[in-house]
Amino acid sequence: MDAERGRSLGLVGLVAGALLASAVALAPAASADITIGANVNQTTPHSGTCGFSSPAQRPCTFITSAVPGQTMNAPCTGTITRFRLNGLVKPANHYRLRVVRRNADGSFTGTATSAQVTIMAEGVNEYATSLPIAAGEQIGIDFQDSTEEFGLRWVEGTGVGAAYFYAFPADGGSAFPTGPATFYYLFNADIACAPAPIPTPVPAPSNEFKIVKLKGTTLTLSLASAGAVSVTDAGAKITASAASALKAKPKLLKPSSSKGGPGQATVKLKLTGAAKKKLKAKGKVKVRAKIVFTPTGGTASTQVRPFTVKKPKPAK
């Protein structure tokens, strides 16, 4: 492990120093749906704080957007139930977990903030919380009154994307980063993903319909829903023993259809040539119609009804 080593990021005001050559105390991860943030179970000789050497630079907020191999954005909408910090016992240094949303213009908006905490034992410390987080949002850490040197452990590496902010606004406010950083602090959070909403069942449209009247060959129906109506010849009402004798009997109705509803709708009874011949000879013809109503997005219902189509009276 490195000997005492410090770093200064110029105007950044992030001062890092060395630790005793003791191993990081590893805390078992609590069960959760998903963890976002850094791998906090790392041994590193480096720790830092924000604004220790310059009170004008605190409080400040540090947001890590990219760490190779780690999930940094919430993959779901849910609740942060706990978060962890890996650091040293510095009672005068306080921290808050911050939930942020990155905007299209490169700024960040705070959406939720935890209660203030301190590191009580060297190594990984875990804190219960309840913070809403939306899919795609990230977490950051607020350095509050960082008046003791060192504190939160950090790791430097390639592929790291991070930024720091001085005087980050209250939740709901937006800010652009004060500057970038090439290292990340050891903190993460557990998200309990909200269950997918159960869709409200859409009631099936009613397939009820009533025969209102027949005028000429125009059949008026009352439909409970919007949909389609079809009419076909239902044939004569006969017994099974007489069925074979009527196979050659001509149909009296041609297929017809229409759309309408809810409310009254009409459909034509289309007479075949045989039906028209009977109508002309006798002045009326009896038919049996199979009426099928299919509501839009629903199931069909059927009625078989006899009708007497009468020859129109001569116009006076």
Predicted confidence (pLDDT) per residue in 220-276, tens digit: 999 999 999 999 999 876 554 555 555 557 899 999 999 999 999 999 999 999 999
Closest by CA to 140, choosing from 90, 85, 199, is 85
Which pLDDT value is given to residue 19? 32
CATH code, 209-238+249-310: 2.60.40
Which pLDDT value is given to residue 16? 39
Which pLDDT value is given to residue 24? 35
Which pLDDT value is given to residue 302? 97
- Chain segment 34-68, per-residue pLDDT in tens: 999 999 999 899 998 887 777 777 789 999 999 99
User: How many whole angstroms separate alpha carbon 137 and alpha carbon 109?
Assistant: 10
- With beta carbons less than 8 A apart as the criterion, state whether 287 and 307 touch: yes
Q: Quick one: the chain helix, strand, coil %, rounded to 5?
A: 5, 45, 45
Which pLDDT value is given to residue 10? 31
In the chain, which residue ranges form alpha helices assigned H by DSSP? 240-243, 273-282
- With beta carbons less than 8 A apart as the criterion, state whether 65 and 163 touch: yes
Which pLDDT value is given to residue 196? 80
| pTM of the shown model | 0.60
Which pLDDT value is given to residue 146? 82
Tokens 């191993």 appear where? 23
Which pLDDT value is given to residue 8? 33
Instruction: Return the amino acid letter for 100.
Output: V
Query: What is the residue extent of each domain of the chain?
Result: 10-193, 209-238+249-310
Query: Can you give 171-232 as a three-state secondary structure string?
Result: CCCEECCCEEECEEECEEEEEEECCCCCCCCCCCCCCCEEEEEEECCEEEEEECCCEEEEEE
pLDDT along the chain (316 residues), means of 10: 29 36 37 85 90 78 96 96 97 96 96 97 97 97 89 93 93 95 96 89 93 96 97 76 59 96 96 94 94 96 96 77
Name every residue whose Cβ is closer than 8 Å to that of residue 248 and which is 6 or more positions away in sequence.
none
Which pLDDT value is given to residue 244? 56
- With beta carbons less than 8 A apart as the criterion, state whether 290 and 235 touch: no
Q: What are phi and psi of 67, to 5 degrees?
A: -135, 120
Closest by CA to 66, choosing from 236, 181, 191, 195, is 181
| Residue 94, SS3 per DSSP | coil
User: How many whole angstroms separate alpha carbon 53 and alpha carbon 146?
Assistant: 9
Which pLDDT value is given to residue 289? 96
